[in-house]
Amino acid sequence: MTTWKLASLVLFVALTTGLAALSQDTDSAVAVYGFTLDETVALRLSVSGTGRGFDVRDGADLYLDLGEVRGTTGAITDYDLYVSATASASSDGAVRAMGTGGLELRLDEAGFSGTPPTWTNPECLYFEKAVAPPERTLLFTGGNNVIDNTRFAVQTQVALGSLLGNGLRAGDVVTYEVVFTIVER
Amino acid sequence: MGKNAVKWGVLGMLVLAMGTVVYAADTDTASTNPFNVTLNETVRIAVSTQPTASTVVESDLETRYFSLGSFAAQVWAITNYQVSADVDFSGTAASALLGSGAAAVRAQIVQATDFGTTGDDGADSPTSDVTTGSPYTAIPAVPGQNLWHGGNTEGGTLTYHEGTVHLWLDLDQLGDQAQNNVLTVTVNLLVTEQ
């Protein structure tokens, strides 16, 4: 008899609980967001050491320090960062191409901050001759870094010996253009 | 016993009889059948402002959280209620979000209520269940994250509670993407009677 009472009580409680759950009303609605990834990689540069003059006394050195280029990459993808360079000389209003103009580049490994790259080109950790487009040198690779963008630094110098034979005269202006290209991989 | 005494006795009985007639005024009653009202529904929710499509451009890659914009939803209730949400992802950019990546969407309520036009005294103002600053409240895939809760909106067709929710997307959790990938984020809202 006691067993029956206990079973009935359990059944009653179970039914009551079930009915209470069923009586809880709900309603639903949906909001839909859509967006397109127009861009997956971004690059921003700042340059120091521009516009310096060349004095004959600089000729005592083999290299002319042009300063440093600082850049920032932002990416939501794996990417490669390349560099290339061109040089031109203007003399009496005439501009002529000079290839890379003896420009050399070095990736400053200590200059990295933010999200570190996934790989750096060991050959770029020392001054190497720049290449002219369409060739380009791979500096480093990276990945999604929106938490803290990757900041890097590239040092530049000119091998003065490479300028021989270019017909440069006093007053000429040599312009170097360093092109960084970030490519989604 | 004299004649007068008999007369007064008869008169008294007559008065009592008339009094009895007054108290015996007839009445009748009738009742309707009971009005049975079944509350099949106690809560209702509808999206009042849908988000608009957007694009990720270069400047967006310099910050971790991308603004998805806002949606607004209205709740009608004759009970205490709770609004919760979960998210689904689809589109070519969605593969990186499957699984644990579902927590990529974070919510911030920037406006919690609108009392409509019926002069609600504000006693039943809804209450936000998400943080309004960093760190934001993550909306998972399952179970739903509570967004806000409230009490009886006092009925009628114009009195409702409206919650506006601003959503941000954690671009870090998008992983390795390709240009022109498309991501669709569907926010499923659920209001539950409490």
Residue B75 maps to which CATH number? 2.60.40
- The pTM assigned to this predicted structure is 0.75
Which residue has better confidence, A122 or B141?
Answer: A122
Which has the closest alpha carbon to B126: B138, B116, B136, B135? B116
Query: Is some CB atom of chain A closer than 8 A to the CB atom of B80?
Result: no
What is the reported pLDDT for A71?
92
Total domains in the fold of chain B:
1
Query: Is some CB atom of chain A closer than 8 A to the CB atom of B69?
Result: yes
Q: Is it true that the peptide bond before A134 is cis, omega within 30 degrees of 0? A: yes
* Whether residue A164 has pLDDT greater than 50: yes
* Whether residue A49 has pLDDT greater than 80: no
Q: Under an 8 A CB cutoff, do B182 and A36 touch? A: yes
* Whether residue A171 has pLDDT greater than 80: yes
Residue B72 exposed, middle or buried by CB count within 10 Å (0-12, 13-18, 19+): middle
Count CB pairs under 8 A between chains A and B: 152
Mean pLDDT of all residues in A147-156? 95
Which residue has better confidence, A36 or B159?
Answer: A36
Q: Is it true that the peptide bond before B135 is cis, omega within 30 degrees of 0? A: yes
Which has the closest alpha carbon to B82: B156, B2, B189? B189
Radius of gyration over every alpha carbon of chain B, rounded to an integer in angstroms: 34
Domain membership flag for residue B26: no
Rounded to an integer, what distance in angstroms lies between the CA atom of residue A174 and that of residue A53? 10
Domain membership flag for residue B166: yes
* Touching B: A residues 81-140, CB under 8 Å: none
Structure tokens at B92: 């070519």
Domain membership flag for residue B109: yes
What is the reported pLDDT for B192?
95
* Whether residue A55 has pLDDT greater than 50: yes
Domain membership flag for residue B170: yes
Mean pLDDT of all residues in A31-44? 89
- Chain B residues with CB under 8 Å of A41 CB are 58, 61
Mean pLDDT of all residues in A4-8? 51
Q: Under an 8 A CB cutoff, do A74 and B61 touch? A: yes
Which has the closest alpha carbon to B128: B140, B136, B119? B136
Domain membership flag for residue B4: no
First-to-last C-alpha distance (Å) of chain B: 84
Do A159 and A176 meet the contact criterion of CB atoms below 8 Å apart?
no
Q: Which of B55, B172, B187 sits opposite A35 (nearest CB)?
A: B55
What is the reported pLDDT for A14?
43
Mean pLDDT of all residues in A162-176? 84
- Chain B residues with CB under 8 Å of A30 CB are 47, 186-189
Which has the closest alpha carbon to A143: A81, A55, A87, A64? A81
Q: How many residues does chain A have?
A: 185
Rounded to an integer, what distance in angstroms lies between the CA atom of residue B162 and that of residue B150? 10
Query: Is some CB atom of chain A closer than 8 A to the CB atom of B47?
Result: yes
Rounded to an integer, what distance in angstroms lies between the CA atom of residue B96 and that of residue B181? 12
Structure tokens at A30: 């949906």
Cα-based angle A30, A33, A36 (whole degrees, multiple of 5)? 155
Rounded to an integer, what distance in angstroms lies between the CA atom of residue B66 and that of residue A34? 12
* Per-residue pLDDT tens listing for chain B (194 residues): 556 666 666 655 555 555 555 567 888 999 999 999 888 899 999 998 888 889 999 999 999 888 888 888 888 888 889 999 988 888 888 877 765 544 556 676 655 454 443 334 355 678 888 877 777 888 877 778 888 888 877 655 567 888 888 888 888 888 899 999 998 888 899 999 99
Q: Which residues contact A59 (CB under 8 A, 6 or more apart)?
A: A160
What is the reported pLDDT for B87?
85
Which residue has better confidence, A113 or B20?
Answer: A113
What is the reported pLDDT for B139?
83
* Whether residue A123 has pLDDT greater than 90: yes
| pLDDT band at A118; cut points 50, 70, 90 | very high
Which has the closest alpha carbon to A99: A162, A160, A55? A162
Element at A14 (helix H, strand E): helix A2-22
What is the reported pLDDT for B56?
93
Domain membership flag for residue B5: no
Element at A66 (helix H, strand E): strand A63-75
Q: Look over chain A and give the mean of its residue pLDDT values, rounded to a whole number.
A: 84
φ/ψ bin of B155: left (φ > 0), alpha (ψ from -120 to 50), beta (otherwise) = left
Which has the closest alpha carbon to A118: A137, A143, A81, A147? A143
Q: In this structure, what are the phi and psi dihedrals at residue B48, rounded to the nearest 5 degrees?
A: -95, -30
Query: Is some CB atom of chain B closer than 8 A to the CB atom of A33?
Result: yes
ipTM surpassing 0.85: no
Can you tell me whether residue A116 is helix, strand or coil? Answer: coil
Cα-based angle A95, A155, A44 (whole degrees, multiple of 5)? 80
What is the reported pLDDT for A152?
96
In this predicted model, what pLDDT tens digit does every residue of A140-150 receive, in sequence order?
A: 999 999 999 99
Distance to chain B for A110, nearest Cα, Å: 22
Domain membership flag for residue B99: yes
The domain containing residue B63 runs over which residues? 43-193
Q: In this structure, what are the phi and psi dihedrals at residue B60, rounded to the nearest 5 degrees?
A: -70, -20
| β-pair type (A41-47, A63-75) | antiparallel
Domain membership flag for residue B51: yes
Element at A71 (helix H, strand E): strand A63-75
CA distances from B194 to A64, A168, B19, B75, B139 (A): 76, 85, 60, 14, 21
* Whether residue A11 has pLDDT greater than 50: no
Query: Is some CB atom of chain B closer than 8 A to the CB atom of A4?
Result: no
| β-pair type (B182-193, B145-150) | unpaired
Query: Is some CB atom of chain A closer than 8 A to the CB atom of B74?
Result: no
What is the reported pLDDT for A18?
42
